[in-house]
Chains A and B, each alone.
Chain A
Amino acid sequence: MISVSGLVRDFGGFRAVKGISFEVPKGQILGFLGPNGAGKSTTMKMLTCFIEPTSGTATVGGKDIIKDSIAVRKQIGYLPESAPSYGEMTVVEFLSFVAEVRGMFGASALKAAEAMRETCDLGAVWDQPIETLSKGYRQRVGFAQALIHDPPVLILDEPTDGLDPNQKHEVRKLIKSMANNKTIILSTHILEEVDAICERAVIIANGSIVADATPGALRERSRFHNAVTMKVAPSDLEKAQAMLSGIGGIGNVEVLGGDRSTIRVFPKKGESIALKISELSKQRNLGIEELQVEQGRLDEVFRSVTKSEVKASKD
């Protein structure tokens, strides 16, 4: 559905996006991750035809973003960062305006706007000027504006930024409900969001893609993946350490302290150690109060891939 090849964008002498390529198949929800200033928004602005790439191109639904930009824009619903809209217009005026520019006229524009009233729950503020609305409602108006023509492609720049936890939950539910028949790219720096809604995560740092995988696969890259955290009585600490040193496949062992002695055991790459530890501790009568297997941590993967990139570019 979306195919990006070698997108580059310069601002003055600064190269904000350094040759990004990826494909998004129909129906996928792709999460764009990256530190602030990594080039996420710039890439999205190029895909939505707001700015032209310095070199490289992309196609959306088979149409080229440079040669056929109007056709591309017709297929995309776009929510820009912080959801700007014409503040002096009321919600219904604004949505009808967008519907008209999207090719609906008169009654059908109003009907499309009415449909958004339900979908985005805007009934309470329908006739109010947008500038008087709260951040949450403005974000919803931005959503409604992006969805009004039922586009096959949605591009959302930080859709949950500045919302409270309830509103975030609502927005995520909305995005997930649309996943069946739409291709969605969303940018965020909230990692739990990627876990909650994205099937695939692309991490960008300094204008280049540094990771592209499912959230699960990314987590496996974490050194915490399959690590075991166990709590034992302080008196058993030495006994436990002795036991662990006898198990194959164990890498580092960290004693974290705390009111109970907490030990974190890291496996060697590709090893699974949780079962071995629990079986052996039963045999040896070691009282384990708690035993937890870690999935791996996205934030740690995020930090390690984006930071190594920063270092590499400085060298």
Chain B
Amino acid sequence: MENFVPLFRREFLGYFRSPVAYVFIVIFLLASVGCTFFLGGLFESDQASLDPFFNYLPWLFLVFVPAVGMRLWAEERRSGTIEILFTLPVTMTEAVLSKFLAGWAFLAVALFLTFPLWLTVNYLGNPDNGVIFAGYVGSLLMAGAYLSVSCFTSSLSKNQVISFVLGVVICFVLVLLGWGVFTDLMASIFPAWLIDVVADAGFITHFQSISRGLLDSRDIIYFISAITVGLALNTMTLNARKAS
């Protein structure tokens, strides 16, 4: 992994070389504030907690994370720089991991910048900061799972828009699987054990259990497995079609 550092740095700083990164972050922050206060009703709930924020996060990520990840491989293939990248002494694992982790670090920065929300609830009352911390850990893990899907869809096409749409669709399915409204609907048709299995495959089920303050190893393993599957598919796609 000797080449990881320069690859990671190029990719991470690459976000900030164009105004796109700043636009992304500003929109994400505005949307997260909007969700927390207006849709989530932080003031009306009369509770010092970040639940309104974390409840809407899976839906915010649905659009935001594929937008962050769409560029990673599609742009590389469109501009032909992938030919430079893979004729440098770089292994496939180094390349895939450095891009993924650079995107993940960017998402971590965006999440970190929501800290004024945390300051606000601490100013207004006495929230359980342990739960909030667990919520952020869960958010970061969930962001990683979304991003690995986006890395995969980004390697499928030279076109960033197609990559983005595919990423949103796949992530949407994964969110839907664990979403209460959807599982309730399905429960009237399918047996309960099937619903449990399906819900277990979705993002929200695991995210909610972490953000309630339960850092259960099963949920952490779930997200790490999801990331691994996404990146494995990403690697397979690249091996098969990097030159086409």
Contacts and interface: CB of A to CB of B under 8 A. Distances in A.
Interface of A: 11, 45, 48-51, 70, 73-74, 76, 78, 80-82, 84-89, 97-98, 100-103, 129, 145
Given A97-B6, A97-B10, A80 B88 contact: no
26 contacts: A11-B244, A48-B87, A49-B86, A49-B87, A50-B83, A50-B87, A51-B242, A70-B89, A70-B91, A73-B87, A73-B88, A78-B84, A84-B79, A84-B80, A85-B81, A86-B10, A87-B79, A89-B17, A97-B6, A97-B10, A100-B3, A100-B5, A100-B6, A101-B3, A103-B89, A145-B84
Interface string B64-87: 000000000000000111011011
Interface in B4-19: 5-7, 10, 14, 17-18
B71 to A, nearest CB: 10
Contacts of B87: 48-50, 73, 76, 78, 80
B17 A85 contact: no
Interface string B1-45: 011011100100010011000000000000000000000000000
A51 B17 CA distance: 30
Interface in B165-201: none
Indicate the member of A48, A85, A88, A98 with the most B CB atoms within 10 Å: A88
A102 B80 contact: no
B23 to A, nearest CB: 15
A94 to B, nearest CB: 9
Contacts of A50: 83, 86-87, 242-243
The binding surface of chain B is classed by DSSP as loop
A141 to B, nearest CB: 11
Interface of B: 2-3, 5-7, 10, 14, 17-18, 79-81, 83-84, 86-91, 242-244
A85 B86 CA distance: 13
Contacts of A98: 84, 88
B81 A84 contact: yes
Nearest to B239: A52
Contacts of A100: 3, 5-6
Given A51-B243, A74-B89, A98-B88, A82 B80 contact: yes
A290 to B, nearest CB: 50
A101 B88 contact: yes
A184 B17 CA distance: 35
B120 to A, nearest CB: 36
A272 B14 CA distance: 65
Contacts of A103: 2, 89
A46 B18 CA distance: 34
Contacts of B80: 80-82, 84
Contacts of A11: 244
A216 B7 CA distance: 46
B13 to A, nearest CB: 8
B89 A84 contact: no
Which 4 pairs between the two chains have the least Cβ-Cβ distance?
A84-B80, A100-B6, A88-B17, A80-B83
Nearest to A157: B83
Indicate the member of B7, B17, B18 with the most A CB atoms within 10 Å: B17
Contacts of A88: 14, 17-18
A86 B89 contact: no
Nearest to B2: A103
A267 B87 CA distance: 50
Nearest to A145: B84
Given A45-B243, A84-B79, 20 more contacts: A48-B87, A50-B83, A50-B86, A51-B243, A70-B89, A74-B89, A78-B83, A78-B87, A80-B83, A80-B87, A84-B84, A85-B84, A86-B79, A88-B17, A89-B14, A97-B6, A98-B88, A100-B5, A101-B6, A101-B7
Contacts of B86: 49-50
Indicate the member of A51, A78, A86 with the most B CB atoms within 10 Å: A86
Given A84-B79, A86-B14, A87-B79, A73 B84 contact: no
Contacts of A70: 89, 91
Nearest to A98: B88
A264 B79 CA distance: 50
Contacts of B5: 100
Contacts of B17: 88-89, 129
A140 to B, nearest CB: 15
B243 A101 contact: no
A87 B2 CA distance: 25
